[in-house]
Amino acid sequence: MIVQLSILLSQICYGRTINIHLKVDSLVEELSLQYNQQIRKYDPTMQIFFETVHQPHITLYMTNFQEGCEPTLRRVLQRTTQNLKTGKIFMEKAYASGSYAMWNSTIDSYIQTLSDTIVNATRHLAVQDQPVPQWVKDIKDDVVRERKIKYVKEYGSPNVFEEFGPHVTLGFDSDTKALAAAMKRVKVAPTTYQSLVVAMGTAGPFGTVMRGRDLGYFYLSST
């Protein structure tokens, strides 16, 4: 349900798509790069490139924001993150889900609060009444489908609140069989890191954040 992070935003032609995300530390960055390279070794058509184009991250809120709102968004995030603390992020299992290879983190009260707080603080800057992507309309579970549609209309994202699923996207391939086969050969070890920085990133295809094109950094409180 949560895997289609980029489809909602890739077809919108107004405003600017910004990915407000949690930075990973140097260890998770290096591990993500290694896993990404291993996936490509076994699946050469995989389309995420951590070496040069994209950066590993955990999305907290990605939506289409109003054109020209970046200065206001930076001020809001600066104020909001001053009241959010650093904490442990637990990276768990990795697997292929459809076209995506994802390294999940634990959904605990800490990371859920980070996302919920940022969504509520910045939602007024999002483009209103964004179109519902087809994959959401195709969800068979009536409760989940209607909730995601509601969140798209109100927050510009189907993946907030109960539908939030924190993870690092390690790979994307529309050839789902090739990606699934590759992921069976990649051994991903659970690890833990300390969150330090929230960032505004330029969103790319497939739920990616473009390397070297961040729009702002905001340090979480350590006290």
Q: What angle (nearest 5°) sits at the alpha carbon of residue 155, between those of residues 150 and 159?
A: 75
Residue % of the chain over a pLDDT of 70: 94
The owner of tokens 């890191």 is 193
pLDDT given for residue 8 in this prediction: 40
pLDDT given for residue 29 in this prediction: 98
Say what the pTM is: 0.91
Q: Report the chain's terminal Cα–Cα distance, integer Å.
A: 36
Ranges of the chain whose pLDDT falls below 70: 1-14
pLDDT digit string, tens, across residues 197-209: 999 999 999 999 9
Domains and CATH numbers, the chain: 7-219 (3.90.1140.10)
Report d(CA 89, CA 221) in Å as an integer: 15
Give all strands (DSSP E) within the chain, no chain letters. Answer: 16-22, 58-65, 88-97, 100-105, 167-172, 191-194, 197-203, 209-219
Q: What single-letter DSSP state applies at residue 221?
A: B
Strand bridging mode 88-97 / 197-203: unpaired
pLDDT given for residue 14 in this prediction: 55
pLDDT given for residue 15 in this prediction: 75
Q: What angle (nearest 5°) sits at the alpha carbon of residue 11, between those of residues 21 and 144?
A: 65
Indicate the length of the chain as a whole number: 223
pLDDT given for residue 135 in this prediction: 84
What are 176's strand-pairing partners? none
pLDDT given for residue 222 in this prediction: 86
Residue 76, exposed/middle/buried by CB under 10 A (0-12, 13-18, 19+)? middle
